[in-house]
Amino acid sequence: MNIQKSPPSNPLSLTRGTKNIIELFGRSKSITNLMINFWQHKTKIRILKFWIKFCYFAFFFGAILLISNQKALPVISWMNVYGVEEYKDLDFPSYLKFLKELMIPIPINLTILEYLSVKVFGDTRIVTEWIYQASFVTLFSIPILFRRKNILKLIISFIFSATFFYASLRIHKGNPQSYDIIFPLLLCITILICKNLETQKEISHLKLLLLGFLLSMLDMLRPFGILIALLICLFVVYILKQKKYKISSYVIPFLPLVFITLPFHYHLYTHHKQLTMTNHSGFNIQRAWPQVMPKRNLVEVDAKPTREGRWPNINTAEHRDNSNYLLSCIIHHIKKHPQDSIKHIIKNIYNFITFKYTLLNYQPEGFIKYCFYTLRFLCFIYLFSQLLKLIKNRSKPLIINTEFLVLFLILFQLFIFSLTESGETIRFTIGLLPLLSIFPRFKYKK
């Protein structure tokens, strides 16, 4: 009987089980490496976040120290028509009468706070120091909150905001009006609430009430505030409709507008024949349209100074009529010369974004100056790139979200400032810089 011998085993050959064991070991090793890499990456992110927080708080407290010696001018002293003396001399009933007769663009809400400050502390420190300084720092701290989820965008937003703060601090010394800072701050807070409204399934009635109150305050701070408030109201209604909130959510944010804004404008129209809080808009706009010259004498007989050493009193119906006349001249010019007007509008927008100005001599200096102009240039390049993308994707439906709102508000204010001012554009741009630091973008439906 022949017995077949099995071939000698090859020491290099492996059984299937052994191969599986080796493959499993290799996989476990690669998984271990991946876990180590992931842990190292997570550690790096944690360290990076720590340094971002450290830099943010360093900037915040450094900004407080820098702003502590800077004060705003009392809003009552606009155009040197009135002064703090009115606060000191008038009792409360007389002060209410003074407010009732006010036609010039002095913010009612801020002047009330200044009046109370004078009566309590003897000066306007509540507005011109406390609120102004706190608002200045907060205004350039808020944009960073919009980009908390994306570390790269967070770092970029922080660099831009910090640079813009130090530059704006220098610029605003030229004419430190508190509403230049308070208005964009309230606008940023309003946008944050709108973002919360967009992203949350439920929103408290208190936040909705605060939203309406902030819109009313915006209206009282600047003559164009009513237009901003109306735009945000349209956005809020759209979001409420999309999210299918309760009917009460539609009513609550508009309560302050009904009980504060409507009576305010009703008073302006019935007592002063004004639609907004100013009788001076025609004179401001004419500075941006110097080619439009009045064809009649604008000397005002009733413009006697309210006190010795003050400028002419323009808180009069005569000044309102002259302002309306100038405004009608500008509108007539635009209708008569549409092509030249379009060229002039483009020129004004260019002058605005390049900060050509004449009234203010304060500019950023040194290293901050070059950083400021470079980052400002990049912001406007980014802004116009978004416009080009919008034109390119015009066939695609836009997504109406908070970033759309921010971009629209930037473009709207850019347009308003360009057409209505030529002297202090750099001062007005301070309010746009925090919104530009967010780097919002248009989004499109697929």
Residues 18-76: tens digit of each pLDDT? 555 555 455 555 655 555 555 566 777 778 878 888 888 899 999 999 999 899 999 99
Evaluate whether 254 touches 236 at the Cβ level (below 8 Å). Answer: no
Residue found by looking up tokens 């905001």 in the block:
161
Round to whole Å and give the CA distance between 127 and 107: 12
Mean pLDDT across 119-123: 96
Evaluate whether 228 touches 409 at the Cβ level (below 8 Å). Answer: yes
Residue found by looking up tokens 């009330």 in the block:
112
Residue found by looking up tokens 């550690």 in the block:
43
CA atoms within 13 A on the CB side of 17: 0
Would you state the pLDDT for residue 40?
60
Round to whole Å and give the CA distance between 157 and 397: 28
Would you state the pLDDT for residue 1?
46
**Amino acid identity at 294:** P
Please state whether 132 falls in left (phi above 0), alpha (psi between -120 and 50) or beta. Answer: alpha
Bridge partners, residue 73, by sequence: 177
Residue found by looking up tokens 């606008």 in the block:
187
Residue 412 pLDDT level (bands cut at 50, 70, 90): very high
Residue found by looking up tokens 């202090």 in the block:
424
Distances (CA, A) of 167 to 129, 163, 377: 19, 6, 14
Q: Supply the Cα-derived Rg of the chain in whole angstroms.
A: 30
DSSP conformation letters of 237-295? HHHHHHHT--HHHHHGGGHHIIIIIHHHHHHHHHHH--SSS-S-HHHHHHHH-TT---S
**Above 50 in pLDDT, residue 358?**
no
Bridge partners, residue 398, by sequence: 444
Would you state the pLDDT for residue 176?
92
Residues 245-302: tens digit of each pLDDT? 787 788 999 999 999 999 999 999 999 999 999 999 999 899 889 999 888 878 888 8
Residues 6+ apart with CB under 8 A from 292: 286, 326, 329, 330, 333
| DSSP, res 177 | B
Q: In terms of pLDDT, which residue wins out, 14 or 442?
A: 442
Phi, psi of 444 (to 5 degrees): -125, 150
Residues 247-259: tens digit of each pLDDT? 778 899 999 999 9
Round to whole Å and give the CA distance between 249 and 47: 42
SS3 per residue for 266-278: HHHHHHHCCCCCC
Residues 224-241: tens digit of each pLDDT? 999 999 999 999 999 988
If one counts every other C-beta atom within 10 angstroms of the C-beta of residue 106, the result is 22
Residue found by looking up tokens 């015009």 in the block:
394
DSSP conformation letters of 367-435? HHHHHHHHHHHHHHHHHHHHHHHHHHTTTSPBP-SHHHHHHHHHHHHHHHHHHH-SSSHHHHHTTTHHH
- The rounded mean pLDDT for the chain is 87
Residues 150-167: tens digit of each pLDDT? 788 888 888 999 999 998
pTM: 0.88
Would you state the pLDDT for residue 252?
92
Chain centre distance of CA 89:
36
Residue found by looking up tokens 């690669």 in the block:
30
